[in-house]
A and B are shown apart, each in its own frame.
Chain A
Amino acid sequence: MTPRRVARLALLLIIAAFVFGVSMTIGAAHLPLREVIAALGGAGDETTRAIVLHLRLPRAVLALLVGGALGLAGAVFQALLRNPLAEPWVLGVSGGAAVGAVTAVVLGWSLLAPWSVPLAAFAGALLAILLVLRIATYAASGLDTRVLILAGLVVAAFFNAVIQLLLTFASGETFRSALFWMMGSLAAADWTSVVLLTAYMLPAMAALLLMARPLNLLAVGEETALYLGTRVERVKLASYLIASLLVAATVAVSGIIGFVGLIVPHAIRLMWGSDHQLLFPASVLLGGGFLLAADTAARTVAAPAELPLGVITALVGVPLFVLLLTRRAV
């Protein structure tokens, strides 16, 4: 890691820290930074401590985690599939998760036990991952990434049809809450989900960061990767499964948040090139900072109403990305 790269990552870290500071202070109650810091230290008055420690802090940490995971997973899928259009949901994980979540909502489980929705979403995501993997490895010897894309597309299309079928029979209220889930939200953040996710996601993210060099080679070509010492099949399978399991976890707690995984890695590429040794950590930091900013906007812009997070990421992210795209020749 050259000094320039360290400086670039430090810059992203500072941006994320700044967004974090802002998100702690604004909301239904405006809290000066001094009081926030006091509350984080365990001092200050009861109400402020409750707002900071039990509402805003877990939600902010979750936004950083989910955004970082989506940014990283997007970068991994783009390299693995050698496709700039790839994003975390391209292989059908979102479809499986949505079927799980919508089933839980439609059947009314969500009213009996709130945790049934994330659990059902996660189970659906796992089902989609296994199904796509099974189809892709059945159709070709080894894991052919072109077949993998096709398998992902058809599985996603199938699950979409199932969702539409389920929603056809849903009542108005169920329909609305299912739709809201599919647009993504971090409103349900609490310390339990933060702790569970951190324990699950940090090792997965670390494993993917370690695969930067092999994925650099895979992005150039499988044959080149083999000749430069990569165990190609193992790297493909490991990166596919780990990245998929990572997004399966995000979808369980936050629903389907689009565009982060597509836009964030490309923004880094446009600025700083495609070396995954920089791109991966940078996508984690920028993805986390960007999603935290979007979530802060989602809960404050139209307060007391909350906007769907996926709508904000698209409404803000896409124009920013187009700006970057047109100002820098690709």
Chain B
Amino acid sequence: MRAPPILETSELRFQYPGAIRPALDGIDIRVEPGSLYAVIGPNGSGKSTLLRLLLGALYPNHGAVRYLGQPVHEWTRRELAKQVGVVPQGEDTVFPISVSELVGMGRYPHLGMLRRPGLQDRQAVEEAMRRCDVIEFAARPISRLSGGERQRVLIARALAQRPATLLLDEPTVSLDIRHEMEIFELLAELTGVDGVTVILVTHHLNLAARYAERLLLLDRGVAVAEGAPNEVLTRATIERVYEWPVVVSAHPGPGRDAGAPQLTPLAGEPANE
């Protein structure tokens, strides 16, 4: 008997109003508790749409999304927000707001409209800021941060929710190597030590191959492959989906993820005289 999935979809189909074909069609996924699940695919393949469907921000035209066995639309937004933390893409604030204020919003689902933050809330906020390495600029306005720092603040806000499940939409865009690796290490720690389930949309195929237990490869709204990294990241599949020649090698190590499949896109043919 397997443990029940934390999040599952059945024959999910979604079409934007006025679009000629569905943005997603026939998506069946099962995300096991405490695992790191990565969604990959070319631009426009439906990754962010899938994330919105999983979060109940869009209604599927067909099929269903279940969180802990219950249709996601039957959850109240607040109960779902106590369970699921989200790091959205491209969030921009209009008004001056400090890092600690923004991270503190992660506690709102637990506080409701009026309850004052207590000791537990302050600890959650501080711990989240420490884990994401943003605590030294807690008092700084968001507008004064670099893109990478801002991204870490958004992750800290999601962690301040103390979520059972964390969904991230390309969280390491515009991060340097160290901060990118730190985010992936943090995600690995969250799944491994804290038992958090992580669902990640990313373009970093090689990092996804090293850190995720399972990959979902989307192409034009269809699940082309789903499974362990070495089942999904094969030369034939990747070349067909991304329309670019690649070679697949094994991560040489050292490290606990030695042997993970790694893709190298090839340079074009040398131009003839």
Interface-lining segment among B31-39, B97-105, B204-212 = B97-105
Cβ-neighbour of A227 out of B86, B112, B114, B116 (below 8 A): B86
Please indicate the chain B residues that have their CB under 8 angstroms from the CB of A231 in the complex: 77
Please indicate the chain B residues that have their CB under 8 angstroms from the CB of A246 in the complex: none
Please indicate the chain B residues that have their CB under 8 angstroms from the CB of A273 in the complex: 96-98, 101
Q: Is the CB of A274 within 8 A of B97?
A: yes
Cβ-neighbour of A221 out of B78, B92, B101, B112 (below 8 A): B92
Please indicate the chain A residues that have their CB under 8 angstroms from the CB of B101 in the complex: 273-275
Interface residues of A in 130-147 (CB under 8 A from B): none
Q: Is the CB of B88 within 8 A of A221?
A: yes
Q: Determine if B46 is an interface residue (Cβ-Cβ < 8 Å).
A: no
Q: Determine if A160 is an interface residue (Cβ-Cβ < 8 Å).
A: no
* Closest Cβ neighbor of B106 among chain A residues: A228
Q: Is the CB of B77 within 8 A of A84?
A: no
Q: Please count how many residues in chain B sit with their CB below 8 Å of the partner chain's CB atoms.
A: 32
* Closest Cβ neighbor of B81 among chain A residues: A229
Q: Is the CB of A214 within 8 A of B94?
A: no
Q: Which of B79, B92, B94, B101 has the most CB of A within 10 A?
A: B94
Q: Which of A83, A216, A229 has the most CB of B within 10 A?
A: A229
CA of A214 to CA of B78, assembled, Å: 11
- Give B138 Cβ to nearest chain A Cβ, in Å: 13
Q: Is the CB of B88 within 8 A of A223?
A: yes
Interface residues of A in 295-315 (CB under 8 A from B): none
Q: Is the CB of B81 within 8 A of A213?
A: no
- Give B173 Cβ to nearest chain A Cβ, in Å: 17
Q: Determine if A224 is an interface residue (Cβ-Cβ < 8 Å).
A: yes
Please indicate the chain A residues that have their CB under 8 angstroms from the CB of B109 in the complex: 228-229
The contact string, 1 if C-beta is below 8 Å from chain B, for chain A 266-288, is 00010001110000000000000
- Give B208 Cβ to nearest chain A Cβ, in Å: 22
Please indicate the chain A residues that have their CB under 8 angstroms from the CB of B114 in the complex: 210
Q: Is the CB of A227 within 8 A of B81?
A: yes
Please indicate the chain A residues that have their CB under 8 angstroms from the CB of B80 in the complex: 229
* Closest Cβ neighbor of B87 among chain A residues: A227
Q: List 16 A-B contacts (CB under 8 A).
A: A84-B95, A210-B114, A216-B108, A219-B93, A220-B91, A220-B102, A220-B105, A221-B92, A228-B108, A229-B79, A229-B81, A229-B109, A231-B77, A273-B97, A273-B98, A274-B101
A-side residues, CB < 8 A to B, are 1, 78-79, 82-84, 210-214, 216-217, 219-221, 223-224, 226-231, 269, 273-275, 330
B-side residues, CB < 8 A to A, are 55, 57, 77-82, 84-86, 88, 91-98, 101-102, 105-106, 108-109, 111-114, 116, 161
